[in-house]
Amino acid sequence: MTNVADLAIESLRSLGINQLFCLPGVQNDDFFDRLVDARDITPIVARHEQGAAYMAFGASQITGQPAACCVVPGPGLLNAGAALTSAYWAGGRVLALVGAIADHLKGGGFGALHELPDATKVLEQVTKHAAYVASGDDAVATIQTALDTLMTNEARPVSIEVPVNVWSQAADGLLQTPVRSLPTPDSGQISRAAALLAGAKNPLIVVGGGAYDASPEVQELAEMLQAPTFTRRQGHGVLDARHPLWVPLTVGRDFWAETDAVVGIGTRMEFPLGWGTKDLNVIQINIDAEELDRHGIGTIGIHADAAHGARELIDALAPINPSRQDRSEDLAARRAAFDQDIAHLEPQLSTLAAIRDVLPDDGVIVEDVTQMGFAAHLAFEFRHPRTFLTSGAAGTLGAGVAHAIGAQAAAPDRVVLNLVGDGGFLFSATELATAVQYNIPVTILLHENGAYGNVKRIQSERFGPDRTIASTLQNPDFVAFGESFGVQSQGVSSVDDLRPALESAFAHDGPSLVVAQMDAITPNPWPFLRMPAVR
């Protein structure tokens, strides 16, 4: 007999999911009992619910496909909440299976184990759709809607709550394979955008994480327009950083002052719009309809998947686009000036150069909230899309270790490197046990400076070096810590030592930890990341 637990397992199969990042518990016992017989789905058991959800987030980001986690209600749900928030803001198509207290106790305030006053309302804030399976009778319809929503439009998490007494209830009907439905671009908006760009003298392109699957189209459009192309954070690698039209963030801002037409592709454009929009024409290609003119500036909005929308725009523009002068020389000079402007960001730049030397072209950097990650936004040479994974607008300190483990589990043939500081490392460092248990060959590059470095530098700059507080850390011996889990662990004291250490880590058949020493306060990258209006 098919029951709700069987349907939930079938939902994973229908999404092509063969790994379930999870932490079991009493409300989900009936589900896990059925999972025993689902030999095509591997449960990867985390050491904390945040770890399970961060792993699913990383798995979805690196592949661009759905991934799943399963947790209990109450504290399990709340522990997973930060990761679901990260997936919400940074493009994680995560299916969260969440247990629930018995349906007849819901909202009763009885103090049942793991009870929240309203768990669904919590989930509604960190997902784009929160489903609740009230009984076996409505299970097929409820789960089907959740799956279809997960695969429709923007990549954001979806949750399915199942009460403890509903998992085992009989459920009639079959789930259909969810298909990712895409909006059809409005031909009138395409024509308006093409006409605007044909008349633009200095067009500019901004890309985000929504453009990861549109690299060929973005490159073709950029070359057609001879448009400088940049990102703030999530669009790295959409246009190879070695391409002559790629520019760093601050150079993008320089062009923002000069441009007469900006094309945003798969981006919220929240940072660039802070640079001013006076006398600026903006075109937005976005699969999320809410982003088409969020700021109310009269944007020409094209509701479309990035690749489809850009292709339609290219086809409409081709017959009317004027001949344009090659801009390679100008952009190269501006990039060289940028390199001089940021040359003082050491040891960050030398460290990133060492990483680039040994990381494969399709190797993946997963950033935690750390000084090295901030510098990577500006200066790392990303060559392919989905090679820089981040929590994005969520800015989730401590996500990195579990985030990277999930990415590596989903892409075992790629090199995955987590950049993390000692402030964030211990948030999810116990997930090294998960990496060892499942022999997930992730590499963690931990920079140790005995501080929440960003906080300490800000306190020192704003209030004086004698006014720092609650930002100094007492650390364990991190090499011994890693070794205690069975992780290959080594310490380095210089950038010259870092290259061979990373080569050894990448070649190791299992998880590795490299601990690098770093000054408590490093040069400040934020003047290049947050810049005032220019128009």
Structural domain contains residue 409: yes
User: In angstroms, rounded to a whole number, what is the distance separating the alpha carbons of residues 344 and 20?
Assistant: 44
Q: Are residues 324 and 350 in the same domain?
A: no
Q: Are residues 252 and 128 in the same domain?
A: no
Structural domain contains residue 179: no
Structural domain contains residue 415: yes
Structural domain contains residue 119: yes
Buried b / exposed e along 308-345 (16+ C-beta atoms within 10 A):
bbbbbbbebbeeebeeeeebeeebeebbeebeeebeeb
Q: Domain of 264?
A: 187-337
Place of tokens 């923002």: 256
User: In angstroms, rounded to a whole number, what is the distance separating the alpha carbons of residues 53 and 68?
Assistant: 8
CATH number at residue 491: 3.40.50.970
User: In angstroms, rounded to a whole number, what is the distance separating the alpha carbons of residues 81 and 474?
Assistant: 28
Q: Are residues 242 and 346 in the same domain?
A: no
Buried b / exposed e along 425-456 (16+ C-beta atoms within 10 A):
bbbbbebbbbbebbebbbbbbbbbbbbbbbbb
The tens digit of pLDDT for each residue in 478-495 reads 999 999 999 999 999 999
The SS3 call for residue 282 is: strand
User: In angstroms, rounded to a whole number, what is the distance separating the alpha carbons of residues 212 and 307?
Assistant: 9
Structural domain contains residue 182: no
pTM (2 decimals)?
Answer: 0.96
Select from 288, 303, 337 the last residue of a domain: 337
pLDDT value at residue 272 = 84
Q: Are residues 216 and 123 in the same domain?
A: no
Q: Are residues 333 and 358 in the same domain?
A: no
Q: Are residues 156 and 203 in the same domain?
A: no
- The radius of gyration of the chain from alpha carbons, rounded to an integer in Å, stands at 24
CATH number at residue 283: 3.40.50.1220
pLDDT value at residue 270 = 87
Q: Are residues 132 and 266 in the same domain?
A: no
pLDDT value at residue 271 = 81
Q: Are residues 397 and 483 in the same domain?
A: yes
Select from 313, 337, 361 the last residue of a domain: 337
pLDDT value at residue 1 = 65
Closest to 40 measured CA to CA, from 16, 57, 74, 60: 16
C-beta atoms surrounding 145 within 10 Å: 15
Q: Are residues 347 and 331 in the same domain?
A: no
Cα atoms in the 13 Å half-sphere on the side-chain side of 91: 25
Structural domain contains residue 20: yes
Residues of the chain with pLDDT under 70: 1
Q: Are residues 285 and 322 in the same domain?
A: yes
Structural domain contains residue 114: yes
pLDDT value at residue 521 = 84
Closest to 372 measured CA to CA, from 507, 531, 498: 498
Structural domain contains residue 176: no
Q: Are residues 272 and 347 in the same domain?
A: no
User: In angstroms, rounded to a whole number, what is the distance separating the alpha carbons of residues 12 and 18?
Assistant: 7
Please give the tally of structural domains in the chain.
3
Q: Are residues 484 and 385 in the same domain?
A: yes
